[in-house]
């Protein structure tokens, strides 16, 4: 009996094939194979008049994959659809079944929360049919996003210069950023003063007067208090207590993205890309195995098997005192999937034991996931907290101390969680009097709330019930790519275009003063997520949800196209130098005002209104002089592109000099041996400059592109004795690149 398993990723297919019998063939669809067409009303690919029936087309570049899969489906006795274990994965499985014409009695749906031999076998033992409620929920999300995205994007491009897109969740995320920025700009700092008494070994801050919390708003008030104090302070109380601080549960998608942002400086999209590789499988010597569980999850629970294995590991390596309690996850009504949290597939695969098989970034993320999961089952840290209260003329000062008594989970997790001791003297006793060395008053001002970082924006979106774990990285990437936000010191600042788009979306139009406020807001978006959840549970009908939405939304869009005022452009009397047909107008763009042809899009002429900034340098007398182009002698100026600022020749396009692009002398690549493939070139050592293997060493032929020989390890001069293919040297062995024959490298 021949069996075919279809997964999403080629890398995952290689990993899973290693776990299965020879009667299995494992192929990859390489993600989605179909998407909504762009035909029909408004190009939505959805028949809104016929119960929102979608029209699907094969995705660009997938024809060969689909042809291959159809051929394999016909030849197989049974097909296992093994796309990812979430709604999107369920939808991919349905598309595969439909597009490949797989009969109902010839397929099974299987899912794996981790890519290990045991779990893959378990998944096969629990085969089922496609859950159409999950598919309906995902299809509804896709149709909603298509309708809102296409209609609002076209509206915004017509009404806001420089606008590129709008979306159901994207625009609400931008709204949060814009609203916070406006609160920051409107914030008025308020002056306040703090008074601190300094003693031998510690400081105490003034907090109360006559047992009531005190606020000091002026220097005069602060001076009066300081002048009323004498040097003697009565120790009112010395309170000591032990406090336990529990470890955090294993990661879910959002908490992983947040900590990776703050501790590893990874963007959310980078975090998810690396986690995907760790999930799909890494070659760790003899085996290729998934190192972590599925990384798109709302859950924080872990399996009994993992708990048992980890408890034994903790006891063997740290002792019984370090054993902690299993975390009971909080109930989350918006949790989408019944997965585990993100954890290593085996606690025995320590980060250091497999470091040699991981890139630097893979090692960093795997370590963070590993130690979070390990620490989650370890004992709490125990801290001795001390609070000392001191009285002086009815003013009460307080000093707080904290000393770690037992490290508990910090034994393995201190790198990701700060713990600093603040030690107070042991000699302090109640009802005794001590003298202060100095009393200091300092002026402060209240500060506005901080801007969103990637981590805090993801946390806010999650807490508001907006979007899902798989969507946050895409939302943030879209806001960056569309130039709706810029990033300064890791914080989001809305651009002028971003602010204008939000203002236009929320503005009133027409005589009826309608707006999109009821759709582009937090509550509506969160409620829509709830409705999608109910569709996935079979509690709501997708067609009714889409009808209710569309009947409210589309009339608003049509009215907005007619009544919403567009951004005014300033007309000039200057003729366009490119087409010589139309005059120029002045428009607003992301980099300021610019001239554009009134005949756009037939003529795409543009020119910045701002004069380029001339670059200066210091001469031998310290005077500013213009920096000139080394090629033609013209002035160098600062320019902008979508990638940021750069310095180039002002004589462009006659001179195309760009500072920093000069060719630099490079050391010749290190030659290893004669090329065993073409026999003409040399095998040289190189570094990958792009892609997921960027920075990794590889070995290729110097005669490239005539010879495309490339190896991840140093080739051997000895051919394979079985098939005569090239062998490479790995782990003190020679391994054939074709038949995998291996022998000791003697």
Set out the domains of the chain in order of their start, with CATH numbers: 3-130 (3.40.50.140), 140-186+451-563 (1.10.460.10), 191-246+385-445 (2.70.20.10), 253-376 (1.10.290.10), 570-649 (no CATH), 671-744 (no CATH)
Residue 436 and residue 200: Cα distance in Å, rounded? Answer: 8
**pLDDT of amino acid 665:** 47
CA distance 681 to 701: 6
Which of helix, strand or coil describes residue 204? strand
Measured CA distances, 285 to 385, 557, 700, 740 (Å): 48, 58, 22, 13
In this structure, the chain runs to a length of 746
Selecting among 233, 279, 294, 322, the annotated active-site residue is 294
Q: Is 294 a catalytic residue?
A: yes
- Quote the pTM value: 0.75
Of 205, 221, 281, 200, the C-alpha closest to 26 is: 281
pLDDT the model gives residue 669: 74
Pairing of strands 78-81, 107-109: parallel
Q: CA-CA distance, 8 to 323, in Å (whole number)? A: 39
- Residue 376: closest CA among 244, 251, 243, 242: 251
Do the bridges between strand 24-28 and strand 3-7 make them parallel or antiparallel, or are there none, so unpaired? parallel
Long-range (24+ apart) CB contacts under 8 A made by 45-50 are: 45/146, 46/143, 46/146, 46/147, 48/147, 48/550, 48/554
What token pair was written down for 396? Answer: 């009460």
Q: Report whether 174 contacts 479 (CB < 8 A).
A: yes
The tokens describing 438, both together, are 């100095």
- Show the tokens assigned to 247: 């470890």
Please name the residues in contact with 243: beta carbons below 8 A apart, sequence gap of 6 or more: 382, 383, 384, 385
* Beta strand extents in 300-449 (DSSP E only): 381-392, 395-406, 433-435, 438-445
What single DSSP character describes residue 197?
A: E
Q: For 692-728, how does the pLDDT look when each residue is reduced to its tens digit (9 = 90+)?
A: 666 778 888 888 877 878 888 888 877 777 777 788 8
Element (H, E) at 279: helix 268-280
Structure-token match 């788009």, residue found? 501
Residue 334: predicted pLDDT = 44
Write down the pLDDT at residue 745. 66
Question: Parallel, antiparallel, or unpaired for β 592-597 and 606-608?
Answer: antiparallel
Residues linked to residue 571 through DSSP beta bridges, in sequence order: 585
| Distance of alpha carbon 537 from alpha carbon 315, whole angstroms | 42
Q: In what order do the strands lie in the sheet with 671-674?
A: 671-674, 682-687, 697-701, 710-711
Rounded distance between C-alpha atoms, residue 484 and residue 351, angstroms: 39
- In the structure encoding, which two tokens stand for residue 510, read together? 């027409």
Other CB atoms within 10 A of residue 414 CB? 15
Asked whether 500 and 166 are in contact (CB, 8 A), the reply is: no
What six digits make up the tokens of 324?
């902690």
By the 10 Å C-beta count (0-12 exposed, 13-18 middle, 19+ buried), 273 is classed as: middle
Residues of the chain with pLDDT under 50: 333-337, 664-665
């Amino acid at each position: 009996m021949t069996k075919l398993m279809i997964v999403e990723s080629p890398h995952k297919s290689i990993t899973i094939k290693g776990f299965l019998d020879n009667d299995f063939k494992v192929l990859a669809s390489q993600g989605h194979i179909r998407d909504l067409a762009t035909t029909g009303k408004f190009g939505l690919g959805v028949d809104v008049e016929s119960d929102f029936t979608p029209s699907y087309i094969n995705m660009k570049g997938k024809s060969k994959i689909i042809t291959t899969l159809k051929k394999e489906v016909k030849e197989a006795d049974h097909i296992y659809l093994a796309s990812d274990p979430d709604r999107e994965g369920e939808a991919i499985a349905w598309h595969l079944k439909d597009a490949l014409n797989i009969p109902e009695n010839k397929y099974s749906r299987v899912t794996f929360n981790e890519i290990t031999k045991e779990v893959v076998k378990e998944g096969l033992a629990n085969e089922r049919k496609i859950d159409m409620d999950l598919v309906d929920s995902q299809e509804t999300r896709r149709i909603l996003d298509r309708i809102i995205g296409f209609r609002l994007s076209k509206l915004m491009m017509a009404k806001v210069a420089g606008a590129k897109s709008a979306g159901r969740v994207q625009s609400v995320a931008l709204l949060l950023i814009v609203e916070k920025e406006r609160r920051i700009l409107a914030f008025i700092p308020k002056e306040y003063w703090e008074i601190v008494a300094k003693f031998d070994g510690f400081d105490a801050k003034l907090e109360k007067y006559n047992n009531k919390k005190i606020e000091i708003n002026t220097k005069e008030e602060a001076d009066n208090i300081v002048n009323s104090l004498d040097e003697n302070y009565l120790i009112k109380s010395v309170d000591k207590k032990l406090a336990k601080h529990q470890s955090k549960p294993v990661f879910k998608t959002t908490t992983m993205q947040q900590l990776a942002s703050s501790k590893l400086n990874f963007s959310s999209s980078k975090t998810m890309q690396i986690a995907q590789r760790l999930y799909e499988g890494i070659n760790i010597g003899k085996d290729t195995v998934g190192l972590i569980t599925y990384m798109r999850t709302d859950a924080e629970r872990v399996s009994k098997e993992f708990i048992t294995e980890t408890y034994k590991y903790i006891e063997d390596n740290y002792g019984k005192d370090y054993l902690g309690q299993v975390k009971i996850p909080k109930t989350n009504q918006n949790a989408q999937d019944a997965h585990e949290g993100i954890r290593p597939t085996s606690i025995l695969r320590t980060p250091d034991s497999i470091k040699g098989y991981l890139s630097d970034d893979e090692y960093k993320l795997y370590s963070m996931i590993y130690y979070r999961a390990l620490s989650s089952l370890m004992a709490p840290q125990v801290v001795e907290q001390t609070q000392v209260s001191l009285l002086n003329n009815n003013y009460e000062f307080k000093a707080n101390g904290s000393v770690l008594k037992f490290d508990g989970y910090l034994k393995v997790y201190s790198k990701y969680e700060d713990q600093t001791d603040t030690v107070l003297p042991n000699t302090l006793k109640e009802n005794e009097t001590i003298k202060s060395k100095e009393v200091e008053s300092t002026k402060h001002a209240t500060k506005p709330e901080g801007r969103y970082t990637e981590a805090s924006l993801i946390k806010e979106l999650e807490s508001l019930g907006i979007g899902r774990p798989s969507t946050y990285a895409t939302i943030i990437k879209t806001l960056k790519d569309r130039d709706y936000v810029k990033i300064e010191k890791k914080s989001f600042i809305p651009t002028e275009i971003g602010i204008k788009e939000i203002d236009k979306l929320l503005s009133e139009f027409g005589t009826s003063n309608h707006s999109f406020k009821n759709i582009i807001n937090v509550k509506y978006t969160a409620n829509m997520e709830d409705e999608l959840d109910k569709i996935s549970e079979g509690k709501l009908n997708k067609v009714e949800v889409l009808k209710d939405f569309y009947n409210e939304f589309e009339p608003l869009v049509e009215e907005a196209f007619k009544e919403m005022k567009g951004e005014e452009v300033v007309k000039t009397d200057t003729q366009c130098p490119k087409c010589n047909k139309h005059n120029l107008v002045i428009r607003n763009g992301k980099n300021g005002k610019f001239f554009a042809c009134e005949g756009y899009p037939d003529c795409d002429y543009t020119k910045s209104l701002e004069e380029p900034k001339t670059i200066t340098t210091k001469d031998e007398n310290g005077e500013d002089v213009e920096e000139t182009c080394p090629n033609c002698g013209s002035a160098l100026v600062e320019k902008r592109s979508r990638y940021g600022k750069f310095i180039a020749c002002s004589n462009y396009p006659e001179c195309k000099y760009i500072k920093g692009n000069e060719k630099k002398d490079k050391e010749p690549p290190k030659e290893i041996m004669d090329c065993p493939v073409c026999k003409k070139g040399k095998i040289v050592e190189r570094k990958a400059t792009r892609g997921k293997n960027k920075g990794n060493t590889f070995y290729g032929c110097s005669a490239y592109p005539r010879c495309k020989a490339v190896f991840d390890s140093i080739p051997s001069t000895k051919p394979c004795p079985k098939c005569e293919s090239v062998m490479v040297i790995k782990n003190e062995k020679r391994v054939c690149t074709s038949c995998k024959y291996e022998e000791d490298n003697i």
